[in-house]
Structure 1
């Protein structure tokens, strides 16, 4: 319901412990759904699935998309591997909807990607997979978080890269996320 996509369910069933086809699923059952969903982003964990003809009035509460919390730059060691890195990130994103990336360039390191991860472990796993599965030699910038900058003109700016922070004279305060026990 959150992404407003519609698919035809080829099969639904319950897991008990093996897959058993069923006509319907009820609250509390652990089930599965088989459909021609081409993108993992269209079937996010926690989203509400409803019948097209008998739609639920509203989605179940509590769903939100995975939000990247840690950002870093990934640059190929050799400039000619840029397209390979783009393809590898795209393939990883097919089964990891939490991975976000966008092109970035640096005068020192050339062309690469600014990537967002759920945390440091997620970042390390993606880095390892890129190096092992796709034979890429990477330069990784220091991880950072999204900073919320309160400016002196009462404007609030969010920056995922410290180089994008407003000039010191225009800042009133800077906030960054932290984990609370």
Structure 2
């Protein structure tokens, strides 16, 4: 059975998959000659396949690559402009599908999967993108009264993890003198309260966290 997936939430389990194909585009890139090496590295990072290269004199180069559509629509344009100081440009057209080794990367916040943060990535990039996403999210999600673990998961394997530390609240501030017993009781009560909060507490995820998923991996490997 052939199935088209347009939402990571509908990605089938590994046991159900015989083969996976992803859409590719043919990108024609125009750039000044001095940036050729850097742009070719960008295309390599994006799993590109070089198809053609023309150098026109000492100033202008045109290269043609086939690239996975997913790699192109994340941050390819921004990185190309950055590398070429704004002088690079490209156009593209769809050229069909190619077989690829893709996996679903899930993000868990407080041990709960967040479907909107799931992405489909190439297996070779899963660890690096998972680590990058976890690091970004740990900076974007506000601290709670309880610790919040953030995990990047493929299947049942945790690839990366970060923990947002709990907010500290001094519950013994009003305990004057040396009433150690009362202080211990208050601290124990606070500990139990935080444990209960962690079990039932919902974590608010800001819009910036969802945008972080769309930015791709800033440290391509």
Tell me, yes or no, whether TM beats 0.5: no
TM-score normalised by structure 2 residue count: 0.26
Q: Which has the higher helix share?
A: 2
TM-score (norm 1): 0.30
